[in-house]
Every structure is written in C-alpha cells, then in structure tokens.
Amino acid sequence: MSSPLFTIFIPTYNRAGLLPRALSSIEAQTDRDFEVVIVDDGSTDDTAAVVAGWKAGVDFPVTYVKQSNQGKHAAHNKGLELATGRLFFNLDSDDRLLPDTLERIRRHWESIPEAERERFAGVEGLVESMDGQRLLTIPYPHNPFDASFLDVRYRLGIGGDKKHAIRTDIACRFPYPVFPGERHIRPSFTWKRISHDYVFRCVNEPFQQVEYQAEGLSSDRFRLRMRNPRGFQLYYLEDVTVHRPWLSRRQLRRSMVDFIRFSFHAGDGLFRQGRLVHCDPLWLMLLPAGFGRLLVDRYRLRYKKGYKANRKESRN
C-alpha cells in the first residue's frame, strides 16, 4: 500500500478527559488520506482505554505507543520513527483541527510548483480560540508568504503560536536532543535548525483551535527552565553561534546572558563555557550579567513561596 499524505501525530500525557475532543476533530476531516500516530508519554490515567475504544470504531490506521515519561520532545522523536505519511502534522491532545484543515494544507502544498518544492519544508498556518472568534497569533504580512522561521521570527518580528505540516523526511533529519533527567526543550530548537536550508509556505488561515491549559507546559516557565538546564543551554548556545546572523544586538546579548546563566545551572564552569563559544569577547563582557541571573534564580528557588514545595513535589 502507498503511504498516506499525512501523519497526524498526537503526543499526550494524562489528558484522557480532553483527548476525545482532538480525536473527534480527526474523524471530521474532509481529506481522508492520513494515518494517526499517538505517543503516550507515560500517562497514569485512562488514556490507553480512551484510545483503544476510539481506535476500534474508526476506518483509518491508528498506531498507539506508550513510553516512560520523557517529555513532549522525546515523544515527538518517537512519533517520527513511527510515521509513514509524507507530511507530519502535530496535534496537541487538548486542541482540535478544523474540519477542512488537511484539505486546505494539501491545496497549499500542491500549489507550490514541483520544481520549487524541494526547498520547502511544508505549510504553516495560524491558530484560533476554541470558539473560533479570535486569532491567537500574529498573521503574516502577505498571504501566502514564503519564509523561514528565523526570518519570520527575528527579521520580521512575527511571534506567536503557529501550526505546520512538515515534510517527514526533513523532520526525521532534525530530531530533538534528549538529555538524561530532562523532559523539555523549546520546540523552536529544531525549527531554527531547519531554517538554514528550508522555507515554509505560510498562510493566514487557522489550522487548529487551541486552549491553553492551566497546568500546561507554559503555566510555570521559571520552574520549567530550572528543571531543564542542559536543553536551554544548548538552545541559547546555538543562538549565539549557529543562528547569530539573524539576531539583533539586543537579542544576541540576551541569548548570551541566558547561555551563561544556564551553563552555570548545568554545572559548566568558565573553561567549558569559553570553549563552547570560542572565547567570544561578548561572552567575556556579559559574564557578570549571566552570573547575576544565576544568583537571582537561586534566590527565587530558595526563598520565593511555592518553589521549594514544587521542587519537593517533582522529586516524589
């Protein structure tokens, strides 16, 4: 059998109560050329039963795999290993697709001339609120708009959540790094790497309706960063080395300070830091600022209400 055009990938962790909303939106798709891959990142609720019941009643391929809790980025890597579709689309377990999302993505992808398609990583769109009344992200300056993530984010200053279908062969070449004991790395880590060679066909159309959960990854950014210093260190290291031409002076300074900050959190002293940035003069100049951020972090961890309790809970 030929491979489907789309792999709809759902990473999930203890979202049995919300998952049916995402699954129902898949059933409603007008384009049926897809498979579904679900990676359960160590759920302790009824996720497996919810998926099994749903899988028994649908007429398209569904792959479900459960792994130990390693984080969304590790689940993403596993999903790519299992994917057979040519375009890989991430649907968060608490969000939902619009009924014609895949149909519109196909149309935009096929509108790119085949002779030019090799330089495109995929198709990217916007997100909106669950009631469909509000866009929750900044639109692109033109529709369609062909650009890389780095150009969109740093040269045009267009931020906000975006959703894309990416070529599976490209995504497989850029897996997320996984550090022992850490369960998060910023999603844009791989988007930046891909930007050096590929662009997206960006369109001002919503592909997903999203609802940001109170207990989601972004609910406590400080605690998230403190628990994952190696991932953040590498993220900012690539900002100040690999992606440097795209950053403004202000952005470069901020990224260098954060590189120093998370290097200290990760246990890397001055010698190791200097080697990583090739003794960059900017690193030498900003060492006091980076060390100052480290001291502020330690103060917050030790004295601010809630953080000591949160750290204790994370160890249990």
pLDDT at 242: 98
Radius of gyration of the chain (CA): 21
pLDDT at 215: 60
Predicted confidence (pLDDT) at residue 299 exceeds the cutoff of 50 = yes
Long-range CB contacts for residues 252-255, cutoff 8 Å, separation at least 24: 252/282, 253/282, 253/286
Where do the domains of the chain lie, and which CATH numbers do they carry? Answer: 6-213 (3.90.550.10), 218-315 (no CATH)
pLDDT tens digits, one per residue of 32-72: 999 999 999 999 999 999 999 999 999 999 999 999 999 99
Stretch 190-212: mean pLDDT, rounded? 96
Please answer whether residues 265 and 297 qualify as being in contact, where contact means their C-beta atoms are separated by less than 8 angstroms. yes
With tokens 């003069």, the residue in question is 281
Cα(267)–Cα(99) distance, integer angstroms: 48
Distance in angstroms (rounded) separating the CA atoms of residues 143 and 32: 26
pLDDT of residue 311: 46
Q: What is the pLDDT of residue 218?
A: 52
**pLDDT band with cut points at 50, 70 and 90 for residue 315:** very low
Whole-angstrom distance, CA of residue 85 vs CA of residue 100: 18
Enter the tokens of residue 216. Answer: 């989601």
Compute the average pLDDT of residues 157-186: 96
Three-point CA angle 114, 119, 120, nearest 5°: 80
**Residue 144: phi, psi to the nearest 5?**
-80, 170
Q: What is the pLDDT of residue 62?
A: 98
Assign 312 a pLDDT band (cuts: 50, 70, 90): very low
Strands 87-90 and 6-12: parallel
Which residues touch 39 (CB under 8 Å, ≥6 apart)? 9, 10, 11, 12, 65, 66, 67, 75, 76, 78, 79, 82
Convert the pLDDT of each residue in 208-250 to its tens digit.
999 887 665 554 789 999 999 999 999 999 999 999 999 999 9
pLDDT at 305: 54
**Residue 155 DSSP symbol:** I
- Residue 15 and residue 75: Cα distance in Å, rounded? 15
281-303 vs 249-265: helix crossing angle, rounded to 10: 60
H or E stretch at 63: strand 62-66
Q: Which residues contact 45 (CB under 8 A, 6 or more apart)?
A: 14, 15, 16, 17
Q: What is the pLDDT of residues 71-121, one digit of tens each?
A: 999 999 999 999 999 999 999 999 999 999 999 999 999 999 999 999 999
Per-residue model confidence (pLDDT) at position 212: 80
Q: What is the pLDDT of residues 113-150, one digit of tens each?
A: 999 999 999 999 999 999 999 999 999 999 999 999 99
Categorize the per-residue pLDDT at 303 as very low, low, confident or very high, splitting at 50, 70 and 90: confident
Which own/partner contact pairs does 310-316 have at CB distance under 8 Å and 24+ positions apart? 310/220, 310/223, 314/227
